Chain A
Amino acid sequence: MSPDRHPAALAVRDLRVEMRTRDGIVHPVDGVSFDIRRGRTLGLAGESGCGKTLTALALMRLLPRGRARISGGSVLWSNGDGEPVDLATVGEQEVRRMRGRRLAMIFQDPAAALNPVFTVGEQIAEVSRLHLGLSRGKAMQQAARLLSRVGIADAARRAREYPHQFSGGMQQRAMLAMALAGEPAILIADEPTTALDVTVQAQIVDLLRGIQSAGGMGMLWVTHDLGVLAQVADEICVMYAGRIVERAPTRELFSHPLHPYTQALLACVPRLHRPAGGSGIPGSVPTPTDVPPGCRFHPRCALSRRRAAEAGAALSIEGPSGRVLRHCVDEIPVLRQARPEHWIACGEVAS
């Protein structure tokens, strides 16, 4: 992957999100860095509660007001000319100009993202009126064109219908049309196919791939399902408890998954041509109020437990979920390059 052919449209550096809870201030996103490149799809994978959705919302500056905020790092937007803009610090007015125009987002639940009292066409038209300055009539024509582009038949008539008259798959298409209306340079997709039938999933995946290859849009695809990312992503970041634990080009990640967490996550994906392998990753992602010291994955890590049994008492330590390697508890692993273009944060695999 040549960085020159695919310049970074959005460079995220050491992003931190802070949240207020009853137990004090926590960091559900804790130093995350990646690039979203033009014409490429970056996958962000992890279980529920790993911070992937908060990361996506932070890029859009859509964090729940009063409860969460960006507390560190930068989100540098650049469109090739002029000074990059730091979305982490830029004013609310500027953010509003960019949101929908430069960056757009689609969500898992289209029914919640569409307004039930306006027609689908009106909602799409609103975006092009706001961001492209189209007249009401022109914007409605554009809305119908967009609906047809996302694969909705009889688009002009459908544009006059309300969201409840659309099936789940069609609502997802309508939301995509709305996101595309501002002709964004970056699309952030948060579990866009998770609530859909596999057949419709495949169609939406193909649709997004087609739109992207035609327009050079950069995409961030957030999901728990590595199976979907195998189909869409050029590069993948695996996130755990607020941090990125592995990053690699897609083929590299699937042919050489290095981090024990990535391996476990991969084993969870249901497959057709192989009987059920794993029984899931024991336990769940720690809450941000309760992150373990050292490697945050160590209480669930099969590798650390296995090696601890071999290493003996001096090098291991008894934890709440069994014996693990001492350095997994004592040292915070940082992302290190383990293979070409392949980075992992694991003190055990890298050594």
Chain B
Amino acid sequence: MSDAAFPLLGATGLSVRYGPSGGRGGVTAVNGVTFDLSRATTLGLVGESGCGKTTLARAVLRLVPLSSGRVVFDGLDLSRLARSHLRRLRRRMQIVFQDSLGSLNPRLTIEEAVGEGLRIHRLRRGPAVRDRVAEMLGRVGLQTADLGRYPHELSGGQRQRVAIARALAVGPELLVCDEPVSALDVSAQAQILSLLIALKRDFGLTYLFISHNLAVVNSVCDTVAVMYLGRFVEIGPRAAVFENPRHPYTRILLESVPEPDPTRRRTQVPMIGEPPSPSSPPPGCPFHPRCPFAVDVCRHDRPDLKPAAATPAHHTACHRSDEDLSPATSTGATRITA
């Protein structure tokens, strides 16, 4: 089962729908997502608020029910597992959230918070719990002196270290990181990112790493998936996506990153407006109302993910991904003229 050639995590046609089942008025937050995640690699998941990336993260951990599709973890179909079996499996798949203040119990000390999983999964008993907690704290750059402190006494970066220590204490193989650095200032961001990279290397961890910022994903990922209105619109090896983005939305996300270089100041906002509501997605390509390159076919037919001819691992869902889309071919749908 633990064959390296097997993906640790796989999703096939995964959909999550919120709201009345079968009826109207619901929201399809994740819509037919398929991917494989090999051991000891990182999939970066990028998209704006509301694109479904957090729901997808929760779905692969079975923290929300799936509406259709499958999630397979190390050969086990999570959608069919009994609750008790699933609970045992949770030791092997952990999550770190964006809001460390909200995700840590304010009434538990750091020692209690990090040790909780060890007790629940009966991995350590008595004084061995404390030893393991101290070991994990050291591993994430905290000190034994911090054992008795409470979450509110720590800085945001320190709290995120606690959240990581807590997740790692039970010895997981998969770590889902949901915007783990978005609430931190840049120096704490850089610290946490380099910590995550070191932990991945040392423990052979597999990450599903979520962020709205491609520059953050850049430093940690092997594969990048770009999500829009519940679907993947582009997925491929990191270098391919960053150096040769094929979907207009990916390009816009890249252009939106504030680069620390005043000589390359943006003169034009790459895109205006916010994504349409997932409860009433537009027909055709979901991105067409905001796409500067949209043509007729985009308004009627939804493009499927297709591999690029030169790099088959690089998939894009865009009718025009094989064309040279320079600003001159823009249809001007979203450009600001003011």
* A contact residues vs B (CB 8 Å cutoff): 47-49, 151, 153, 167-170, 197-203, 205-206, 210, 224-228, 230-231, 250-251, 254, 264-273, 275-276, 278-282, 284
Contacts and interface: CB of A to CB of B under 8 A. Distances in A.
A293 B314 CA distance: 55
A276 B156 contact: no
29 contacts: A47-B188, A48-B155, A197-B48, A198-B212, A198-B213, A198-B256, A199-B253, A199-B270, A202-B258, A202-B270, A202-B271, A206-B268, A206-B336, A224-B187, A225-B258, A227-B186, A227-B215, A231-B258, A231-B262, A231-B266, A264-B187, A266-B260, A270-B186, A270-B189, A272-B215, A280-B189, A280-B191, A284-B187, A284-B188
A215 to B, nearest CB: 15
Which of B190, B253, B258, B265 has its CB near the most chain A CB atoms (within 10 A)?
B258
B256 A225 contact: no
Contacts of B331: none
A271 B218 contact: yes
Given A170-B274, A202-B269, A272-B218, A210 B253 contact: no
B304 to A, nearest CB: 24
Interface string B187-210: 111111110010000000000000
Given A206-B336, A226-B186, A276-B194, 18 more contacts: A47-B185, A47-B188, A153-B273, A170-B274, A198-B256, A205-B266, A206-B268, A226-B260, A230-B265, A266-B260, A268-B187, A270-B189, A271-B259, A272-B214, A276-B190, A276-B220, A279-B194, A280-B189
A272 B187 contact: no
Contacts of B215: 227, 270-272
A48 to B, nearest CB: 5
Contacts of A250: 262
B263 interface: yes
Given A225-B186, A265-B187, A201 B258 contact: yes
Which size bracket describes the interface of B in this complex?
A: 35 or more
Contacts of B155: 48-49, 284
A205 B259 CA distance: 13
Given A198-B213, A266-B260, A275 B274 contact: no
Interface of B: 48-50, 155-158, 185-194, 197, 212-216, 218-220, 242, 252-263, 265-266, 268-274, 336, 338
Contacts, number: 153
Nearest to A284: B155
A47 B190 CA distance: 12
A316 B118 CA distance: 46
Nearest to A191: B185
A324 B168 CA distance: 35
A272 B185 CA distance: 18
Nearest to B249: A199
Contacts of B219: 270, 275-276
Contacts of A269: 186, 260
Given A197-B49, A224-B185, A272-B259, A267 B190 contact: yes
Given A197-B48, A202-B266, A279 B260 contact: no
Nearest to A261: B187
Nearest to B141: A282
Given A203-B272, A228-B258, A265-B186, A167 B49 contact: yes
A266 B49 CA distance: 27
B253 A198 contact: yes
Contacts of A200: 48, 274
B190 A278 contact: yes
